[in-house]
């Protein structure tokens, strides 16, 4: 269905208005961000540091990439360091992200010629009434932002697959770079290698030299944080926490006489150990002292020691490690994305039903198995699309949409695999980054009247 500009604008306006009405209703139901949780979140460094030493604090930030703290720092500069005020600003920021996401989603629906009923149906199911989307809109974390970045991946990959325009190839790398600078799951330079492989997969040998040059430029950009950390802090990586994360997966808090816990116990001792080991002279408050918190150089010492211990444990019993990863992967896919411990205000009052399910063995079993079957079906679906595209690797005129869709899935799969191997909890929020992958899955099914055979026999995903 080809819409005129006027019809598109009307659809944009109507769906955004309906979205805002839905958010007013949820606000009336007292669903709001919990600012008390925000003050305890380790992802944000001390607000006074962001206010007084923004640029230098971001420069020395090592335990995670800096982009989220750049946003928080900007808010703090404008509105002060009160956690409740900043929590409200982040909520407004998330609402704006949702509105922009709606516009991009509608552009995707236009690309796939969805009719108005299909567009409204998806909007209601996955945006207006989606508890997961609502939850992370009210969650004071970069999860909602990374969900938006993943939506940009979908939009840019699909546009790129049509005729391999240079601008969309660059947009894909820019989106990847935003993720690299936001979340440690994507911060390894190998992620940019993955992006290059997906682009190569989509267009194969078409103007490959151009793609190699672009890849090398963004590889250097993505590695800049690791290079900075090596120069300033004596370790190579965009995040210093990999050691503690491996211990989280193994749940071996007993190693190194309790060194690998997640608190600040003995942090002064570890700070001194790091200073002595590297003859460290830098006294910046983001690295040394009480305000540094998780960014204290003592945490680098902790995580380096824990990385050694974790690798030793894995090499000693790799089967046990893989069995833990397998268990985590299977069990976490039996949870809703909003089955997360840090809930917004008013959540339990309005949606306690979903927590109550866990109290009843049969009901909980049905919920868990249903979600696991759904995820298995979705993963298998995209995997088959990937292989269909792979079988036509040389064909740059057909099946490029299959290659684009499966490339999007590969990016999501990268995150799923890495977080299950190297992050021991919060898998629910990590899976939520793929919220728009679920929408893409539903779009394909709806557009083809849920006819799986038709989807895999057809020359196109969309008519």
Provide mean pLDDT across the span 434-441: 95
- Six-digit token pair at 5? 């500009």
Q: What is the DSSP letter of 32?
A: B
Among residues 171, 180, 170, the alpha carbon closest in space to that of 151 is found at 171
Q: Are 188 and 238 in contact (CB under 8 A)?
A: yes
Q: What is the DSSP letter of 294?
A: G
Among residues 398, 252, 270, 361, the alpha carbon closest in space to that of 313 is found at 252
What is the predicted pLDDT for the residue at 4?
82
For residue 367, is pLDDT > 90? yes
Q: How far apart are CA 364 and CA 359, in angstroms?
A: 7
- Six-digit token pair at 282? 């830098």
For residue 462, is pLDDT > 60? no
Burial zone of 312 (CB within 10 Å; 0-12 exposed, 13-18 middle, 19+ buried): exposed
Give, in order, the Cα–Cα distances in Å from 243 to each of 60, 137, 307, 316, 354.
19, 30, 4, 16, 34
Radius of gyration of the chain (CA): 23
What is the predicted pLDDT for the residue at 399?
58
Interval 328-356: pLDDT, tens: 999 989 999 998 878 999 999 999 988 88
Q: How far apart are CA 60 and CA 280, in angstroms?
A: 14
Percentage of the residues of the chain whose pLDDT score is greater than 90: 66
- Which of 45-54, 280-289, 340-349 comes out lowest in average pLDDT? 340-349
Q: What is the DSSP letter of 398?
A: S
What is the predicted pLDDT for the residue at 215?
96
Q: How far apart are CA 267 and CA 296, in angstroms?
A: 8
What is the predicted pLDDT for the residue at 396?
63
Among residues 93, 49, 95, the alpha carbon closest in space to that of 69 is found at 49
Average pLDDT of the chain to the nearest whole number: 90
Confidence tier at 255 by pLDDT (50, 70, 90):
confident
Q: How far apart are CA 316 and CA 48, in angstroms?
A: 44
Among residues 73, 68, 66, the alpha carbon closest in space to that of 226 is found at 66
Q: Are 16 and 99 in contact (CB under 8 A)?
A: yes
- Six-digit token pair at 133? 């989307």
Q: How far apart are CA 447 and CA 463, in angstroms?
A: 8
* Residue owning tokens 């040998």: 205
Opening angle at CA 382, ends 381 and 387, nearest 5: 100
What are the phi and psi torsion angles at 281 (to 5°)?
A: -105, -20
Q: How far apart are CA 358 and CA 180, in angstroms?
A: 36
Burial zone of 215 (CB within 10 Å; 0-12 exposed, 13-18 middle, 19+ buried): buried
Give, in order, the Cα–Cα distances in Å from 276 to each of 230, 273, 297.
17, 5, 11
- Six-digit token pair at 285? 């408050």
Residue 201: half-sphere exposure toward Cβ, Cα within 13 Å: 25
For residue 322, count other CB atoms closer than 10 A to its CB.
Answer: 12
Interval 263-276: pLDDT, tens: 777 889 999 999 99
Give, in order, the Cα–Cα distances in Å from 248 to each of 142, 258, 287.
21, 13, 23
Interval 57-91: pLDDT, tens: 999 999 889 999 999 999 999 999 999 999 999 99
* Residue owning tokens 């703090």: 76
- Top pLDDT among 390 and 317 is at 317
Q: How far apart are CA 434 and CA 430, in angstroms?
A: 8
Among residues 81, 65, 66, 56, the alpha carbon closest in space to that of 286 is found at 56
pTM of the full structure: 0.93
What is the predicted pLDDT for the residue at 398?
56
SS3 at position 33: coil
Residue 22: half-sphere exposure toward Cβ, Cα within 13 Å: 21
Q: How far apart are CA 456 and CA 463, in angstroms?
A: 13
* Residue owning tokens 């866990």: 358
């Amino acid at each position: 269905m080809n819409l005129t500009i006027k019809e598109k604008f009307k659809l944009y306006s109507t769906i955004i208005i309906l979205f805002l009405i839905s958010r007013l209703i949820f606000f009336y139901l007292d669903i709001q961000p919990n600012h008390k949780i925000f003050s305890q979140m380790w992802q944000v460094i001390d607000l006074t540091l962001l206010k007084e030493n923004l640029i230098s604090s971001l420069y020395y930030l090592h335990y995670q990439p800096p982009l989220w703290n750049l946003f928080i720092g900007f808010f703090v500069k404008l509105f002060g360091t009160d956690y409740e005020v900043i929590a409200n600003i982040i909520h407004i920021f998330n609402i704006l992200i949702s509105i922009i996401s709606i516009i991009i989603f509608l552009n995707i629906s236009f690309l796939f010629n969805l009719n108005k009923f299909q567009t409204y149906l998806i909007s209601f199911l996955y945006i207006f009434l989606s508890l997961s989307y609502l939850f992370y809109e009210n969650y004071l974390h970069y999860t909602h932002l990374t969900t938006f970045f993943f939506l940009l991946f979908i939009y840019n990959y699909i546009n790129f697959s049509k005729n391999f325009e240079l601008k969309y190839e660059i947009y894909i790398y820019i989106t990847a770079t935003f993720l690299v600078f936001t979340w440690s799951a994507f911060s390894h330079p190998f992620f940019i290698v993955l992006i290059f492989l997906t682009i190569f997969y989509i267009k194969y040998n078409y103007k490959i030299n151009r793609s190699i040059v672009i890849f090398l430029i963004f590889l250097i950009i993505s590695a800049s944080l690791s290079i900075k950390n090596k120069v300033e802090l004596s370790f190579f990586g965009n995040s210093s926490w990999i050691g503690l994360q491996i211990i989280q997966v193994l749940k071996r808090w007993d190693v190194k006489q309790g060194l690998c816990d997640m608190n600040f116990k003995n942090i002064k001792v570890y700070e001194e150990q790091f200073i002595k080991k590297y003859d460290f002279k830098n006294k910046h408050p983001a690295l040394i002292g009480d305000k540094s918190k998780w960014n204290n150089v003592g945490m680098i010492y902790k995580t380096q020691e824990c990385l050694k211990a974790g690798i030793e444990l894995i090499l000693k019993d790799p089967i046990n490690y893989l069995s833990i990863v397998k268990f985590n992967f299977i069990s976490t896919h039996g949870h809703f994305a909003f089955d997360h411990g840090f809930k917004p205000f008013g959540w339990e009052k309005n949606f306690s039903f979903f927590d109550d399910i866990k109290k009843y063995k049969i009901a909980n079993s049905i919920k868990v198995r249903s979600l696991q079957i759904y995820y298995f079906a979705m993963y298998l679906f995209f995997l088959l699309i990937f292989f269909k595209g792979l079988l036509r690797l040389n064909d740059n005129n057909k099946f490029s949409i299959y290659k684009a869709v499966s490339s999007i899935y590969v990016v999501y799969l990268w995150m799923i695999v890495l977080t299950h191997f190297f992050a021991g909890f919060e898998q629910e929020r990590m899976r939520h980054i793929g919220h728009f992958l679920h929408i893409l899955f539903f779009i394909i099914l709806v557009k083809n009247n849920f006819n799986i055979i038709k989807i895999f026999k057809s020359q196109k995903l969309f008519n």
